[in-house]
Structure 1
Amino acid sequence: MVRTHKRKTNGGEWSQEKMKEAVNKVQNKELTLRKAAEIFAVPYTSLQRRVNLSRGIVKRRGEQPALDENAETKLADRLLHLASRDFGITPKAVRKYAFEFAERQNIKHKFDKSSGIAGQDWFHRFMQRNKKLTIRRVCH
């Protein structure tokens, strides 16, 4: 059974767009850090860190995904191509193909090398990020 994460705090509920706007205003010296944090309703320390250290680059919260956005897009496009050629895609097939894809592309990943398949949690999150994919169930 796949786990569903329940947030324990309300931290990080500000939008990435607001943070980017605030970073731009501070970097262009239109606003001070404190004023930008107040106006755009973003945490002062997060804004300060993005302005001073990361040059405005915003990373995802939590653990980083096994495949980056470009690799996932390529994988999703390949799966769509296979589906358009009448290959029924099952969850297990997607997980196996993701592992093989990462290996062929020499992408550093955390998939289980002994079984040669991506995990169920990864699969469900991948499907949430790629709504255009549909998966078929295998009938025995």
Structure 2
Amino acid sequence: MEAAIKKIKDGELRFNEVCRVYNIPKPTFRRHLKGLNKHQRIGRPKDLTAEMETELVRHVLLLESRFFGLTIKDLRRLAYQLAEKYGLKHRFNNESQLAGWKWYYTFMKNHPEISLRTPEATSVACCKGFNKETVMAFFDKYESL
């Protein structure tokens, strides 16, 4: 279908010729040519746009990389604050100022790269001791055994 539309746009073939060559019914091809065949989203609108979800994922991964663990409640609170900041119409709970559980489960299903666990306290010594140089030195000593 895309090749047929390209032939029309480039002026290589006329409408009837394209329909005959590609064996496409004329009403179907006319509908595709006019762009009326675009799928519209059915159902409720999403609470956060795809760009906002991407921004939220990047923020969560950044916090995790800096050893600042987030709880589920923290993520739900961040989602609510993001929706409020951008003035979006949302279905989040205004009283508790949290995104809903259904939103959370859908978000986690759509973004498997995020894994939220109960955060544990990480000392500064652990963070400093676990770096590339220290780990490489350990494995060098281990291999020499």
Unaligned runs of 5+ in 1: 1-21, 37-43
- Give, as a single letter, the amino acid of the residue that structure 2 aligns with 1:69: A
Which residue matches 2:15?
A: none
Question: 1:122 maps to which residue?
Answer: 103
How far is 1:104 from its partner? 1.5
| AA of the residue aligned to 1:119 | G
Question: Quick one: distance in 2 between partners of 1:51 and 1:103?
Answer: 38
> Which amino acid counterpart does residue 88 of structure 1 have in structure 2?
G
- Structure richer in helix, relative to its length: 2
Which protein is bigger by CA-based radius of gyration? 2
CA RMSD of aligned residues (A): 3.2
Q: Kindly indicate whether residue 73 of structure 2 is the aligned counterpart of residue 92 of structure 1.
A: yes
Once the two structures are TM-superposed, the CA of residue 31 in structure 1 deviates from its matched residue by: 4.7
Do the aligned partners of 1:27 and 1:51 also contact (CA within 8 Å) in 2? Answer: no
Q: How far apart are residue 132 of structure 1 and its match?
A: 0.9
Q: Which residue of 1 aligns with 2:126?
A: none
Q: Give the distance between the partners of 2:75 and 2:90, measured in 1 at CA.
A: 16
Q: Give the Å deviation of 1:53.
A: 3.8
- The answer to whether the Cα contact below 8 Å between 2:79 and 2:98 also exists between their aligned partners in 1 is yes
Supply the AA of the counterpart residue of 1:93.
D
Question: Per-residue displacement from partner, 1:7-39 (whole Å, max 9, x unpaired)?
Answer: xxxxxxxxxxxxxxx4x356545459x947xxx
User: TM-score if structure 1 supplies the norm length?
Assistant: 0.59
Contact 1:25 1:31 in 2 (8 A): no
Unaligned runs of 5+ residues in structure 2 are 9-17, 121-145
Distance in 2 separating the partners of 1:100 and 1:108:
12
TM-score normalised according to structure 2 size: 0.57
Cα drift, residue 127 of structure 1: 0.6
Counterpart residue number, 1:109? 90
Q: 2:61 aligns with which of 80, 100, 104?
A: 80
Poorly superposed stretches of 4+, deviation over 2 Å: 24-32, 48-54, 58-64, 105-108
Give the number of aligned pairs: 105
d(CA) in 1 for partners of 2:33, 2:114? 34
Q: Is contact 2:5–2:33 with CA below 8 Å preserved after alignment?
A: no
Report the counterpart of residue 15 of structure 1 in structure 2.
Answer: none
What is the one-letter code of the residue matched to 1:89? L
1:127 touches 1:133 (CA, 8 Å); kept in 2? yes
